[in-house]
Structure 1
């Protein structure tokens, strides 16, 4: 950029979803967390289904002719599909890790809520 036309600096993101500090989400209820788990499960399933499409596309590859250019095109297409499938696997793994973390958080949240409810009931409040 020319001198004097510098873009403003962007501060690092320090807030997570719903205003939680440090890049974390603040979940207000088990129902909200269940909704997130449902959405991430659907996303994970869609990503896994994409893998099937990559596999089918690789199996369908055929050289249109017996020349070198045709063979090179098939090889390039296969390499591209392999990279896409590898990326798809990484996305599925990320979604699965999110799900694992959310399910563990849900279990902890539910146990905490049960303990709190029990304490309130026993106190007579």
Structure 2
């Protein structure tokens, strides 16, 4: 992932926008990874340990995280308008949207880790 460089002439708004874009790209990368790993874990649950319950949990996670990924991509596409903001209200809209997505991201990561931990615990018992 390429990090943006901040310059002395960048405004506070430009720095916030760059950092938000970097963070969003990181979230997209993580959710994509979770989707791929969930698919592999669902296949292991189904084909190797023959556990439908875990397979179904991972398939459900795939559906939820694909929906969240689409929401993140939609937000990324709207970031063009964020760069065109010329008043505080517009900036605040995007800042609040970003914070809302951050909360969803943290929940998605926590939920995934919990399912994965349960899966590994079951495999090792």
TM-score computed with the length of structure 1 as normaliser: 0.49
Q: Which has the larger Rg?
A: 1
TM-score computed with the length of structure 2 as normaliser: 0.49
Higher helix share: 2
